[in-house]
Amino acid sequence: MAVSNTFKYKYTLLLLFSAFMGANILAFRAGIQWSLYRFLLIISLFFIVFEKGVSRTIQKSSGRVYYNFLLFWIIYSILLLVFVEDYIAFFRCFLFLLSALVACVVVSCNINDKNKLDNSLRVFEIAALLLSLIGGYEIVTGNYMFVTQETNDYYNMNILLESTLGIRVPISVFRNPNDFSIFLLFAYFTSYYLTRVKKNNFDRWFSRVLVLWFFFMVLATQSRASFAAILLGTAIILLDRFKELSVAKRTIIIVVVIASLSSVVAWLLANSELYEALIAFDPDDTGGSDYVRMLLIKNGFKMYGDSFGLGVGLGNIECHMAKMPDETAYIKNIHNWWMELLVSSGPFVFIYYLHIYIKSLFYHWKKIKNKVIPREDHYLSLTFFIILLTYSFACITSSSVMSSEWLWVYFALIFVAPTCLKNNENLSRNQPSSSK
């Protein structure tokens, strides 16, 4: 079935936007929760099946790394069916894996140059703005439109009392503030990247304002891991910008920082209530969040051992956790993505994932250190390096990211980036030197 490249590209952007907007927007229930994204995925299957050369296109794209991993994970998960006890939970997670594979194929086939990748990130920025505005509405009104009445009362009243900022904690269309904070973390770094590459001055200022807005919203979610991630990522960005300055400007900045250091420290000490809860860690507080998380990890290792080190199967951690002594305040999600991956899918999937994750991290690190690549390419690699680095520990804030469809799609963009950067470098070499 012949379809124009322009149509496929625009269709991909629509698919990306629908994924980033989540399953609660333009959705309806018919057996399962249907959304625009899930409907478009079904249509995408027809393109994949009837379009010629899809497999060859994937293998030419750096997205094949992600594709091969997802395919391996799907096959291994089927083999683990012999250990599965909760088949409904298994098939739910299995469908998320299949959807990630389909999205990866679509992205790998249609996002193959830096301009297309930049436009995809612009789409993410717009979606992030819309969802963050829902969060802002929740802060102001206390009306949580995408939660049950019981959960609405909890976020509207209880969380208000716990917030260090003294405002309601937003969740937008997500399940909880932690999931929302990870989304906002990606939005923050994405908007920073767009401030460096947008050509129009108004567009650049638009992204600069969003950087500040997303930073505030991350703080509003009260996620400790995302708070640490945004501080680390911002520090790396500032260091990168600092290295680009002249010696004179560096000297001025150092003098100003040293001169104001005592005032900053004094202000932080006087206003510790604003951030104390975000940096606190107390695993000995029985019944506290840190204590429960440590118990969940301990239980996770036990059930992993009981599975002979092969994994308990997708979505089956909760049913095994329910059989253990009730010391985790009725919390059954393992609340740690790395542990969830290991315990549910075993060492082979875990090591494979770790391999491609670290390989991608080092790829972008080498690009950052390369002084001859175009500056826009430098900023893209810097952004993806920071996202990969900070997500490695921010992901432990969520109860589970398995159902975060937007995240699977965003990682597809990260893994096609090498192809996009390579094509951009080739284009730069072929341009006359005067045009650089």
The arithmetic mean of pLDDT across residues 240-261, rounded, is 79
pLDDT given for residue 158 in this prediction: 63
More confident of the two residues 182 and 142: 182
More confident of the two residues 430 and 197: 197
Q: Would you say 415 and 66 are in contact if contact means Cβ atoms under 8 Å apart?
A: yes
In this model, does residue 436 exceed pLDDT 50? no
> Given the structure tokens 């921010």, which residue do they identify?
394
pLDDT-based confidence at residue 253 (cuts at 50, 70, 90): confident
For helices 201-221 and 177-197, what crossing angle results, to 10°?
A: 160
Lowest-confidence range among 170-179, 265-274, 320-329, 349-358? Answer: 265-274
In this model, does residue 87 exceed pLDDT 80? yes
pLDDT digits (tens, 9 = 90+) for 23-39: 887 766 666 678 899 99
As a whole number of angstroms, the distance between CA 205 and CA 190 comes to 14
- What is the share, in percent, of the chain residues with pLDDT greater than 90? 57
Strand 28-30 to 32-34 pairing: antiparallel
Q: With the CA atoms of 181, 185, 187 and 191 taken in that order, what torsion angle do they form, in degrees rounded to the nearest 10?
A: 150
pLDDT-based confidence at residue 12 (cuts at 50, 70, 90): very high
Q: Would you say 97 and 73 are in contact if contact means Cβ atoms under 8 Å apart?
A: yes
pLDDT-based confidence at residue 288 (cuts at 50, 70, 90): low
The residue count for the chain: 436
CA 406 to chain centroid, in Å, comes to 8
pLDDT given for residue 435 in this prediction: 41
pLDDT digits (tens, 9 = 90+) for 184-237: 999 999 999 999 999 999 999 999 999 999 999 999 998 888 999 999 999 999
More confident of the two residues 167 and 426: 167
Q: Would you say 142 and 33 are in contact if contact means Cβ atoms under 8 Å apart?
A: no
Q: Would you say 374 and 391 are in contact if contact means Cβ atoms under 8 Å apart?
A: no
Lowest-confidence range among 117-131, 216-230, 353-367? Answer: 216-230
In this model, does residue 99 exceed pLDDT 90? yes
pLDDT given for residue 101 in this prediction: 97
Q: Can you list the alpha helix ranges (DSSP code H) found in 1-113? A: 5-21, 36-50, 54-60, 64-79, 87-110
- What is the share, in percent, of the chain residues with pLDDT greater than 70? 84
More confident of the two residues 253 and 391: 391
pLDDT given for residue 410 in this prediction: 98
DSSP 221-283: HT-HHHHHHHHHHHHHHHHHHHHHS-HHHHHHHHHHHHHHHHHHHHHHHHTGGGTHHHH---T
pLDDT-based confidence at residue 53 (cuts at 50, 70, 90): confident
pTM over 0.75: yes
pLDDT-based confidence at residue 121 (cuts at 50, 70, 90): very high
